[in-house]
Amino acid sequence: MTKILNKFKHISLLVIIAFGLGGCATFITKEEAFPKMYQAKPVSILVVPAVNNTTAAEATEYYATTIAEPLTRMGYYVLPIEVTNKLIQEQGIVDGAQLVNVDTGLFKTMYGADAVMYVSINQWDTNYYVVGGNVTVGIAYKLVSTTNKEVLWQYADTIVVDTGGDSGGGLIGAIISTAINTALTDYVPLAKQVNYTALSTLPFGGYHAQTGTDQKAQAVNQNKAGVVRATN
């Protein structure tokens, strides 16, 4: 058991960030990817309940605890998620999918938000194969203006943690080790890692010391970004 737990401590070393198109990453500047962010300059963001496209019923609730901090760190004011979610639920909204087609202007009127962050949880999965396994978290994001309903920023990322067991104990030992490693892997830290990678591509918000200075930062993986072209 000690050997297995020691192995678990090193799982983070086996984290693989999945790159699109066979792992070939093409990086472009923030301004090239998201020029509308620099035009709109949103300051306050309302994060609505995530759309859960997985079979993990608890994913939405757990994920909600992970997104406010990285958005704040990037210089944005995030409307209190617990409070706004409660107000949304009082309107009979119990699932993020119910908000997809709602006029974003309503969020400007009701909450004073400059933009709405939509999140889709596409993977929150545990997988097993022969003597190995992994845990996967995949998130897609879209930030929409409440003023003109334009998409300002969008990104998607996935993280995979290999939980394969130690084959030194034979086939049965490897299967048991994999099962324990997988059971001990917490999804929340993985979601935080996806948030960190994805949200770091946002231009710095108005509350960040470096706001307005990162246009030329070549920090956006074009394969993962939904490039938002500027309006002519």
Say whether pLDDT at 20 is over 80: no
* Residue 134: strand pairing partners: 127, 162
Helix count and strand count (H, E) for the chain: 9, 9
Cα distance between residue 15 and residue 120, in whole Å = 21
In this predicted structure, the answer to whether residue 8 has a pLDDT above a threshold of 50 is no
Question: What's the mean pLDDT in 160-171?
Answer: 58
- The mean pLDDT of the chain is 82
pLDDT value of residue 184: 44
119, pLDDT greater than 50: yes
Phi then psi for residue 145, to 5 deg, are -70, 140
3-state secondary structure of 117: strand
Q: The tokens of 174 are what?
A: 């490897």
Cross-strand partners of 139: 121, 157
* Domains along the sequence of the chain with CATH: 34-162+187-203 (3.40.50.10610)
